[in-house]
Amino acid sequence: MLKNYLELDNVSFLFGSGSSIHLGAVAIRNFPLEVETYILEKDKIIAGIKAELITTIKGLQAETLNYGTANFIPGTNQFSDSRSWKFYIEDDMVRDFGSKEIAVEYEKVLNFLIAKDYVLSQDKSTVRTDKISELIMAIKEGLFVVCNLETKSVSQVVINKKKSSTYEKDVEQGKLLGACRT
């Protein structure tokens, strides 16, 4: 289990993925849509990881799903929570209204799966048929792929904001980013 914390799910990597949002990396407040898409594609190679993800998400969202269905905005599949954040329910999963992402933290999903994988691996009386360890690897790979800034281009909007900043460091970054686009 310690090995897992020394890989992609450690604090510095998770912090790093969030600190590069302005350069095109994904946020991990929710479960990133790009990582979900990566898992759906990976399911064609490793059958069963999509079903494992859906089961996991539904378990982690059970209370939120119950709250949401009890508090729908009339005539919709949408609801707001106590913070006035808007969500909608699709296929019994709660999604963020704005980003369309699964409304559960990336890190929470990963930590839950790592803990569950550990506990299940200790039971030697049954043969495991789940795809938890494969899903863990796919989730890590998916985040790494979508946060690999070398494969992404920085939007012109970000470059222009940097170049027009009142801070010299931002202006220099804008020039550098602009030069990389050509």
Reading the chain (182 residues) residue by residue, the pLDDT tens digits are 444 444 554 444 454 445 554 555 556 789 989 999 999 999 999 999 999 999 999 999 999 999 999 999 999 999 999 999 999 999 999 999 998 999 999 989 999 999 999 999 999 999 999 999 999 999 999 988 877 666 666 667 777 888 888 888 888 888 887 776 65
- Taking the model in full, what pTM does it have? 0.73
Q: What residues pair up with 31 in beta bridges, in sequence order? A: 102
Same domain? For 159 and 147 the reply is no
- Our count of domains for the chain comes to 2
Identify the CA nearest to 2 among candidates 112, 110, 114. Answer: 114
Could you tell me how many residues make up the chain? 182
**Same domain (yes/no): 51, 115:** yes
Q: What's the domain range around 50?
A: 2-61+104-151
Q: Which two tokens stand for residue 27?
A: 């946020």
| Collapsed DSSP state (helix, strand, coil) of residue 144 | helix
Report the relative pairing of strands 78-80 and 86-90 from DSSP bridges. Answer: antiparallel
129 inside domain:
yes
In a domain, 15, yes or no: yes
Nearest to 37 by CA among 22, 23, 24, 26: 26
One domain, residues 180 and 108:
no
- 112 lies in the same domain as 46: yes
